[in-house]
Structure 1
Amino acid sequence: MRVAVFGSFYRGFHVLSELLKGPLAPRIEVVGVATDDPRVGFVSRERRVWSYPHSADEEAMVARLAAAHGLPAYRGRVKSEEFYRLYEREWRPELCIAATFGQQFDARLHRFPRHGFYNLHPCVDDGWPSAYAGPNPFQALLDDGADHAVIALHEVDDGFDTGRLVALSDKIYFPPAASVVDLHKSTSPLAAKFLAQQVARLIDAAQARHAAA
């Protein structure tokens, strides 16, 4: 299955690592990677994880991982004719995953992959859409005194973290005095494993439908 990843920072790094090198790797082909360039305004740096102290290596680690596997990372606007051509003619993804990405997707993008376009989003199990939808859920959870988060896997739609909920991870508890960046670091490996399990189920279901057709 052809998979495209839209990811940045630790969640993007761990998701891409899992898809390229984990147990799911023989079943998929990563055909494209897009990642944030925090220097540009259209990634909403001031409202997201990039507003916190971080290193140049953290900005570039997804792009470097992609390059090490022969995948040039796209860092421009995704709602542009340049990217539409790349996405539809070269990448041609059958499944897309977003994991910390600073741009919203329009219908042309999220409706293209025939097996769906999904996002990983931290929240709590408070109903869906979660009250923690938005660009900085960890800060909102900390502000509310939460002691844990779960990772939601949901479909991408025209809203903001409002698409159909697919699954919730187990709870991930917060250490004392954890910062937003700490929470990105500590939750991302589990989020990536959770994603891989869910993608395996999606592939199994798609193969079963094909066999029954």
Structure 2
Amino acid sequence: MEIVATISPYLDMVREELMSRTSFGFAPDRDLPPAPARRADSGSGPRVLFVGFPSDYSLAFLLGLLQLEVRVCGIVTSPGAHPAILGDNALSRIADHLGVPLLRTWRINDDHSRIDMAGLRPEAAVMASFNQIVNAPTLRIPRHGFMNVHPSLLPQYRGPEPVYWVIADGAERTGITLHRAVPKVDAGPILAQATVAVDPHDTSGTLTRRLVGAGVPLLRPALEALLADAPGTVPDLRAGSYLPPVGHRRLDEAPSAAAAERMVRAGVPNM
């Protein structure tokens, strides 16, 4: 039987509108127009679970995944991140259109969540922005493991908000990394990576859009490597950095006017 990607004019429309934007956010509150009654023609390749949020960043990688010769067998999200996740949102509309479950899991590592995910029989999982650390037993549910899409040039800027810190620090370059997920945060073997220059006028939104543009084409080779159990390149964490959640930062505590200006750009549009 021929292996094909998912076919859907609705998803093509959603993809075109999203990728026409010049600024992307991480806020997990995106909704979409209701899908037509006719469901998508599902892909017929390996069964892949998607883990993420209804945000610009996550959606771009879900839509990119649906262009590959895979069968997205389910979507996992975390309702604790935003009240919108409990209602209709971009992920719920895409899941309904695909005819697959949307698992709203408060604790991805508990027994109920693992049973639900195992029941979908995934061969691999792709994660693009998530607010829970996935432990070893959960990572073993897909036959070939999880792949994470992290918006920095790992091992630099490990942690939950790398795009903010890249701009706030005045870094001249960053990147996007697709790596095998391990229990330690952003520490797994690298499967694919691209470097992206930081413009002096970038906001987090404009930089995130370019990171996504560099990262989506890497989905195919990185997923092929994951499914082939390729070892990847283990990053040297000693040569990298970990930055914590941003929290509340005061502009009047910035060491200089230039640093304050970078903080403002780093906070747009996510803060």
Give a deviation string over 1:155-188, Cα, whole Å, max 9, x none: 111111111222212x223344332233333322
Q: Tell me the distance in 2 between the aligned counterparts of 1:188 and 1:36.
A: 21
Match of 1:164 among 189, 201, 216: 189
| Counterpart residue identity of residue 68, structure 1 | H
**Unmatched segments (≥5 aa) in structure 1:** 46-54, 207-213
Partner of 1:79: 109
Partner of 2:77: 35
Q: TM-score, normalised by structure 1?
A: 0.74
The 3 A distance-change label for structure 1 pair 131 and 186 is closer
More helix, by proportion = 1
**Unmatched segments (≥5 aa) in structure 2:** 1-45, 230-271
CA contact (8 A) 2:173 2:198 kept: yes
Q: TM-score, normalised by structure 2?
A: 0.59
| Counterpart residue identity of residue 92, structure 2 | A
CA contact (8 A) 1:31 1:91 kept: yes
Rg comparison, structure with higher value: 2
Q: Tell me the distance in 1 between the aligned counterparts of 2:92 and 2:208.
A: 18
CA contact (8 A) 2:117 2:141 kept: no
Aligned length: 180
Partner of 1:7: 52
Partner of 1:49: none
Give a deviation string over 1:51-91, Cα, whole Å, max 9, x none: xxxx99xx932332222211232222212222111111x21
Q: Tell me the distance in 1 between the aligned counterparts of 2:199 and 2:97.
A: 33
Q: Tell me the distance in 2 between the aligned counterparts of 1:73 and 1:19.
A: 16
- SS of equivalent to 1:18: helix
Partner of 2:137: 108
Q: How does 1:170-181 map to 2 (within 5 A)?
A: 171-181=195-205
Match of 1:69 among 89, 95, 98: 98
- Shift of the alpha carbon at 1:97? 0.9
Give a deviation string over 1:103-153, Cα, whole Å, max 9, x none: 1101111122222211111223xxx5x130000010111122123321111
Structure of greater relative contact order (alpha carbons < 8 Å, 6+ residues apart): 1
The 3 A distance-change label for structure 1 pair 162 and 87 is same
Q: Tell me the distance in 2 between the aligned counterparts of 1:137 and 1:101.
A: 13
The 3 A distance-change label for structure 1 pair 139 and 172 is same
| Counterpart residue identity of residue 149, structure 1 | T
Q: Tell me the distance in 2 between the aligned counterparts of 1:16 and 1:92.
A: 18
Please tell me the root mean square deviation across aligned C-alpha atoms, in Å.
2.5
- SS of equivalent to 1:91: coil
Question: Structure 1 stretch 158-167 or stretch 65-74: which is displaced more?
Answer: 65-74
Q: Tell me the distance in 2 between the aligned counterparts of 1:63 and 1:182.
A: 26
